[in-house]
Structure 1
Amino acid sequence: MPADSRPYQLTAPRSVLGGAFVYDETLTGPVPESAEEDFAAFGITNPTPVRILYKSSSSASRQTVQLTGAWGTISDPEQVIDRHFAKIAQNSAAEPNGSTKLVGTLQTMHPSGLGDAMMKCQNIRTGANQYIITTPICVWADHYTYGEVLVLDPGALRNGGLGVSFGENADTAARIRNDARVPR
């Protein structure tokens, strides 16, 4: 167990990153019915799923941030992350013409403020035809919370489809973890 043995839960705050991103009810859909089962298969005991999408509070930016995760008990945070990425790869392989694929290699990240959590990121390519975006997906896990953060920037289409950098997405994920993770 971690040095800080207090249990934590994952919440869905109305805003994150000091108000830079705010809850977007038009983009946030329900948590999929299979979420608890999926999180349990990753290695989270008694998972409580969380899913929320945020939009930039600045009218000059069209960026969105997606937080998908769960809280419960996690005995092996790294294993949970690895199983998550393996599931994405498995789903991509099952749909050879699918619109979402992992590309590049999985990288362990150590952004400031991550605390006792483990984080890994990998690029994900999504879209179709001329609307393909490649951006990192970052996943953290500690002994109580798990979160996947994806920053989508429609402006990336003007930059050859490349979204935010690994470092920027990892930093955003660590900061969102700190905003959304609270003691039980």
Structure 2
Amino acid sequence: MDDYTALGISNPTPVRIAYKPSSSASRQTVHFTGAWGSISNPEQVVDRDFAKTAQNAAEGPQGYTKLVGPLQRMHPSGLGDAVMKCQNVRSEVNQHTITTPLCVWADHYTFGEVLVVDPGALVNGGMGVSLGENADTAARIRADARAPR
């Protein structure tokens, strides 16, 4: 709760869920962490979240997880009035390097982080989905997560 308040979300109600595909053909897992509440400055919340992620990576074990590449503003279909930015996260998992896109959105009522993990990328030591694909997934989750006020 304090972390969400520090980002700029008043009266946050946190939520966390992992989605697994219904098809056995895809083994990707989508991780969604977020909150709803009152957000006066959505862009500031997104920027603070990425700054906190970068700080946590810098304070963590050497080479374990870090943000790589530029932070990009994204505009996927269905985003509406929300602010969304994405950046790749590089992690060391079982002596393999995996790069996974992290997308974060905020509007005046909701905040969410979406990370798509592709186990195939763990085996191959490469990239899972692209930033654009993850942004599309994040926009769909946002649309599903929002409730009429």
TM class, shorter-length: over 0.9
Q: TM-score of the superposition, structure 2-length normalised?
A: 0.95
Structure 1 alignment gaps of length 5 or more: 1-35
Larger helix proportion, structure 1 or 2? 2
- Residues 32-181 of structure 1: matches in 2 within 5 Å? 36-97=1-62, 99-128=64-93, 130-181=95-146
How big is the shift at 1:127?
2.6
CA contact (8 A) 2:96 2:123 kept: no
CA contact (8 A) 2:63 2:92 kept: no
**How many corresponding residue pairs?**
149
Structure 2: distance between partners of 1:107 and 1:86: 14
Q: Residue type matched to 1:150 in 2? A: L
| 1:65-119 Cα deviation digits (max 9, x unpaired) | 0010000000000000000000011111112426221111100000000001010
Report percent identity of matched pairs: 75
Aligned-pair Cα RMSD in Å? 1.3
Structure 2 alignment gaps of length 5 or more: none
CA contact (8 A) 2:70 2:87 kept: yes
Q: TM-score of the superposition, structure 1-length normalised?
A: 0.77
| 1:45-67 Cα deviation digits (max 9, x unpaired) | 01000000111111111100001
Structure 2: distance between partners of 1:182 and 1:66: 20
